[in-house]
Amino acid sequence: MEFPIFKTKTQGTKRNFNLNNPKEREKYFNFKAGREIKKLRNYFRKGNTFVAYLLGKKNSGKGTYSKMFSEVIGPERIDHFSIGDMIRGVDKELKDRKKKKELVEFLGKNYRGWSSVKELISLLEKRSTKTLLPTELILVLVKREIGKRKKKTVFVDGFPRDLDQINFALFFRDLIGYRDDSDFFVLINVPESIIDERIKYRVVCPTCQTSRNLKLLPTSKVGYDSKRKEFYLLCDNPKCQETRMVRKEGDAAGIKPIKDRLKKDEKLINQALSLCGIPKVLLRNSVPKKMASNFVDDYEITPEYYYEWDDKKKKVVVREKPLVVLDDAGEPSYSLLPPPVVVSLIKQITDVLDL
Ligand SMILES: [Zn+2]
């Protein structure tokens, strides 16, 4: 099944927005999806929630899209939840004697499966990044996490992670006590060439963990390190006071080390696409170049950014040009900035919830 191209182009009044600027982004969302945003806020205000399972290849933007969605609709009622972060949290608990004891007690009371609690703890402690944890263990840990979040809407990122877990996802809301609320899949389609660029140029804020990209998604402030002759981004989250964002080790290799994982993710997405009975929101990141002008506004397309240092004015000059990549079918394509993808997310969720 193909991921349809979502039309975010507006007819009539021409307006331009700088989507990297948080204030303009807010105006943009109200301009393009104001009605739907109101409906969703109203839905949450009445105490309704939903569970959305984010499925996309590694680095497809799951976190970016769901966090931006909650930023627009109301962060106090929506949580983003990643299985990876949860497991890292458990790793930390295991190093603290008191917390480890609590975890052992929790598992003793709540876990049902084929391993003893002792075996589970040993599995967690000796785990390498390749070890797959039993689905029953993941489930009970997810249940615990959601319990901490009371009755909030949750975007679950990283579950299901394997084909056998898809079946569990279908009954997930029953398992966690969300019985009356909606749940649906959010499937994300991004060309691997884009994922490659995202990894190669990504930077992270050490304070708030926000992820950006030197080439594709800069912040509003760029700095220049004259000693190392390199440009860097400054986090524009007001709480971070312009923390310098940093690169992660190993990112220079791009998608090479994760090829197998990407293949597995693709299988998983195809499996989810063929499911009946559960609603699906389909997010598409790329638009074939030849069709772009009918579907999106120019400023919604990801440009490629590059920088120059103006030695006279002592400041960084930000320049941009259109970024064209080949999608997975070999078609020259543009990549969309996160906001138009989030507009399609907002509108499709409104439809799924029948608002
Ligand atoms: Zn930050």
Reported as a single tens digit per residue, the pLDDT across 105-153 is 999 999 989 999 999 999 998 877 667 788 889 888 988 887 787 778 8
Q: Cα(209) to centroid of ligand 1, in Å?
A: 6
User: Which residues are placed with Cβ below 5 angstroms of ligand 1, an ion?
Assistant: 205, 207-208, 210, 235, 237, 240
Q: Cα(205) to centroid of ligand 1, in Å?
A: 5
Taking a C-beta distance cutoff of 8 angstroms, is the pair 340, 27 a contact?
no
Q: Cα(241) to centroid of ligand 1, in Å?
A: 8
The model's confidence at residue 220, banded by pLDDT at 50, 70 and 90, is confident
Q: Is the model's pLDDT at 100 over the cut of 90?
A: yes
pLDDT in tens, 306-354: 999 999 999 999 999 889 999 999 999 999 999 999 999 999 999 999 9
Rounded mean pLDDT of 74-103? 92
Rounded mean pLDDT of 192-213? 93
Instruction: Quickly tell me which residue has 């992660």 as its tokens.
Output: 248
Where in the chain does DSSP place strands (E)? 50-55, 78-82, 153-157, 182-189, 202-204, 211-213, 221-225, 230-234, 280-284, 286-288, 303-310, 315-322, 325-326, 332-335
Nearest-angstrom CA–CA distance, 95 and 241: 32
CA atoms within 13 A on the CB side of 11: 2
Contacts of 116 (CB under 8 A, 6+ apart): none
Reply yes or no: is the peptide bond before residue 206 cis, omega within 30 of 0: no
Q: Is the model's pLDDT at 179 over the cut of 60?
A: no
Rounded mean pLDDT of 272-293? 93
The model's confidence at residue 177, banded by pLDDT at 50, 70 and 90, is low
Q: Is the model's pLDDT at 299 over the cut of 80?
A: yes
Cβ atoms within 10 Å, residue 276: 4
Q: Cα(207) to centroid of ligand 1, in Å?
A: 5
Q: What is the pLDDT of residue 307?
A: 96
Closest to 331 (Cα-Cα) out of 286, 300, 294: 286
pLDDT in tens, 58-88: 889 898 899 999 999 999 999 888 888 899 9
Q: Cα(245) to centroid of ligand 1, in Å?
A: 8
Q: pTM of the prediction?
A: 0.85
